[in-house]
Structure 1
Amino acid sequence: MTSPTVRDVAALADVSLATVDRVLNNRKGVSAKAIAKVRAAVAQSGYIRNLAAANLSQRRVYRFCFVVPAGDTGFIALLQNAIEAQRSHLMQRQILIQIVPTRAFDVAGQVAVLRSLDCDAVALMVSESPEIQEEVSRLMAAGIQVVTLVADLPQSGRSAYVGIDNVAAGRTAAEFMGRFVHGAGPVLMIAGSLTSRDHTERLMGFRLVMQERFETLGLLPVVEGSDDATTVERLVLAAAAAQPLAGIYAIGAGNRGLVRAVNAITPKPVTIVHELTPTSRAGLRDGTITLVLDQDTLAATAAAVEIMRQLTEGRDLPPDAGKIRLNLYCRENI
């Protein structure tokens, strides 16, 4: 017995082959009634699509978007450079990449961008909010696969997450903070924004370990630096003026301001930051920064592209498809 074909689906649905093709490829220009008829015919016939063969024969072009913050922070620049570095290679594989910038932590602006997308799949680095989650659900319902990047949105119904385990990253930072700090003293925690899930997860992991094993150090209330170097510098100097700091855990960006502030403090606190950027690398070399927790942006963006392709083709993902390794850097191994 032969397997059902698209012609069988078209006959059952009483529509053209072109309409079936549009529905199967999530293209526009099809009425809701026709979509329902095609989907019902697919279920009735038992039609199973060989997407890999279809894409090969049709030379399908994939259209993937990366929605990431704009700005000149070191990590964002590395992320965008990693995407750009793959563009030519991906074009040879019929994969077109578009970078769509947004303002960091600007929920309204991010929602507007999500509503304007026209692509097969999208990788998002956005804030966590009910409005964003609603837009992710809408994109998924429209047939656009959604992958979260760096910061997860687990309640949104997204297809996959690509990034490090941020709770484990925070716990790791606390383990080293507790070992590096000698004696008692307060530790300052600086997040970019608590609307960003990666920041809140790192903060949670950090607090748990500090409270479990290093409670004598004490934690100051977390402050938000908006990933802005000037704001971070001001917050660090204000905290240091109130009392000597034993340690600083910088959860987000703005490390140029952090370095300027730490260089003005005597004695220098143990300082742990995220992402190996030119600023944090220089800070490691001159002793301003003690430890850097880094995620490989090239590995993350490459994984995001591959996952978007597999999802678009209807393939199942392995459980660890989006897991990115956490790397640790000190002065001696950069």
Structure 2
Amino acid sequence: MSGPTVRDVAEVAQVSLATVDRVLNNRGGVSAKVVDRVKAAVAQTGYVRNLAAANLSRRRVYRFCFVIPSGDTGFIALLHEALAREQQRLMEEQVLVQVVPTKPFDVEDQVAALRNLECDAVAVMASEAPEINEEIAALHASGVRVISLVADLPSSGRDAYVGPDNVMAGRTAGEFMGRFIKDQGNVLMIAGSLAARDHSERLLGFRMVMQERFGGCTLLPAAQGADNAERVEQIVLEAARDRRLAGIYAIGAGNRGLVRAVRTLAPRPTTIVHELTPTSREALRSGTFDLVIDQDILSGVIAAVKIMRDLTEATTPPADAGRIKLNIYSRENIQ
């Protein structure tokens, strides 16, 4: 049995098919009162638009950009892979997705990327900086819709955020860390960059829980590893030189270096990281890592495209449309 059609919407709203088409496609020329009637009829009938068919019929092509860090390992590599898969699928729906890579944590390069965009909407994974906010404001002024991805940019005026609750992610890590090490010992925290809001929020949540519930632990000053494996390895080895590490919380990337360093330490510190990558997966299996807090990046990409399409169509997405839930993996539930 087929679902409700535009004809059903027209009958309930008591308007013509042409009027329904004008409202659904934001063509204008319809009074606010009639628009409300059509929207009410859509809700009443449960009509769902086939955007792919609608786009083909009116030859509408969406142009979306993803401005994200470059990288061939870890989480960023998985993000690029997810985007590559979606690029192929979305072409059938008249959606063209362009990936614009930038240097990680390089504000100047990120600004340059944002200045050269030609698209309807853009998803941005960038550092939190006044220069970034200015470029996002300029994009808005030119009619481009903007969402922040993975790391929020709330002061930029972006239209929506797609990603996890990073404070919650940090608090979750803190809860497990305190329980694993039995509220005692030195804990090393390693971020990629504290200029990245996702890293700073995870660190905030982690510290909050450790200070609230596990006061017997000593939190060492947060280090910044620039998501570089060699740098992360050096940070761990230097921190362990003069003290025993009970725990390590790695907020960003560079986990290959973390694996190398942890394997040299005895006794081995409890180690909690983010993102399920080939490196962290194998480290869980071997017992080198104890916990991985992961976000489903493919779900994030799909949600980002859906929200950009809604915004381009002048449709308000649900408030929680961009929220990506967290998954927790240990040695016992890893595949």
TM-score, normalised to structure 2, is 0.85
Which residue of 2 is the match for residue 210 of structure 1?
210
Letter in 1 for 2:276: L
Q: Distance in 2 between matches of 1:242 and 1:138?
A: 50
Q: State the distance in 1 between where 2:177 and 2:242 align.
A: 21
Distance 1:2 1:271 in 2: 63
Contact 2:115 2:135 in 1 (8 A): yes
Q: Equivalents in 2 of 1:151, 1:183: separation in Å?
A: 30
Give the counterpart letter for 1:310 in structure 2.
D
The answer on 1:137 being equivalent to 2:143 is no
Partner of 2:117: 117
Aligned to 2:331: 331
Which residue is equivalent to 2:308? 308
1:31-110 equivalences under 5 Å are 55=55, 57-110=57-110
Identity of matched residues, % = 62
* SS state at 1:332 partner: coil
- 5 Å-filtered alignment, 1:21-40, equals none
What corresponds to 2:11 in structure 1?
A: none
Distance 1:130 1:176 in 2: 35
Give the whole-Å Cα distance in 2 for the aligned partners of 1:117 and 1:183: 50
CA distance in 1, matches of 2:134, 2:251: 27
Distance in structure 2 (CA, Å) of the matches to 1:68 and 1:311: 20
Shift of 1:59: 2.0
Secondary structure in 1 matching 2:154: coil
Q: Distance between the aligned counterparts of 1:293 and 1:190, measured in 2?
A: 15
Q: Structure 2 counterpart of 1:320, which letter?
A: D
The CA deviation at 1:141 is 1.3
Residue 288 of structure 1: aligned partner: 288
The CA deviation at 1:319 is 1.1
In the aligned structure 2, how far is the partner of 1:57 from the partner of 1:315? 20
Paired AA for residue 314 in structure 1: A
Name the SS for the 1:331 alignment partner: coil
Deviations 1:152-178 (A, max 9, x none): 000111011000000000000000000
Mapped partners of 2:182, 2:314: distance in 1: 54
- The equivalent of 2:152 in structure 1 is 152
Shift of 1:94: 0.3
* 2:55/2:93 contact within 8 Å kept: no
For 1:62, the aligned partner's letter is Y
Aligned partner of residue 185 in structure 2, secondary structure: coil
Deviations, residues 38-57 of structure 1 (Å, cap 9, x unaligned): xxxx7998697999797453
Alpha-carbon separation, structure 2, partners of 1:76 and 1:67: 12
Structure 2 residue identity aligned to 1:295 = Q
Structure 2 distance, partners of 1:271, 1:45, is 60
Q: Distance in 2 between matches of 1:139 and 1:200?
A: 26
1:180 alignment counterpart: 180
Q: Is the 8 A contact 2:65 2:121 kept in 1?
A: yes
Aligned to 2:117, the other structure's residue is in SS state coil
How many Å apart are 1:182 and its aligned residue? 3.2
Aligned residues: 301
Give me the whole-angstrom Cα distance separating, in 2, the residues matched to 1:54 and 1:172: 43
Paired AA for residue 67 in structure 1: V
CA drift of 1:183 comes to 5.4
Letter in 2 for 1:159: D
Q: Which moved more, 1:69-78 or 1:226-235?
A: 69-78
Unaligned 5+ segments in structure 2 are: 1-13, 20-25, 40-48
**Displacement of 1:113 after TM fit?**
0.5
1:115-135 deviation line (CA, Å, top 9, x unaligned):
000111111111000000111
**More divergent stretch after superposition (219-228 vs 140-149):** 140-149
| Distance in 1 of aligned mates of 2:56 and 2:117 | 26
CA distance in 2, matches of 1:2, 1:304: 34
Residue 4 of structure 2 corresponds to none
The CA distance in 1 between the partners of 2:176 and 2:158, in whole Å, is 33
SS in 1 for 2:314: coil
